[in-house]
Amino acid sequence: MQRHLITLLCLAVAIALYIAGAVLPAAGLLILGIVAECVFWVRLFGRGNSRQ
C-alpha cells in the first residue's frame, strides 16, 4: 500500500510542478516535473514484482 501512495505522490508532485512551471517563467520547474513524471511511470511499470 505504501508503494502505491508514493507512486501517486510522484504524480501529484509532477502535476504541481507542471502548473507552477506554466504560471511562473521557470524552465527548471518544468524539468523537475518531467523527472517526477518519469519516476511515476518507472514505479508504475518498472521492474515487475519486486517481492519475488
Listed as ranges, residues in the chain with pLDDT below 70 are 47-52
For the residues of 1-48, what is the DSSP string, one character each? -HHHHHHHHHHHHHHHHHHHHHHTT-HHHHHHHHHHHHHHHHHHHSSS
Nine cell digits for residue 49: 514484482
Give the global pTM: 0.70
Percent of the chain clearing pLDDT 90 (strictly above): 0
**What pLDDT is attached to residue 48?**
60
Domain boundaries, the chain: 2-45
Query: What does the alpha-carbon distance between residue 44 and residue 52 come to, in Å, rounded to a whole number?
Result: 17
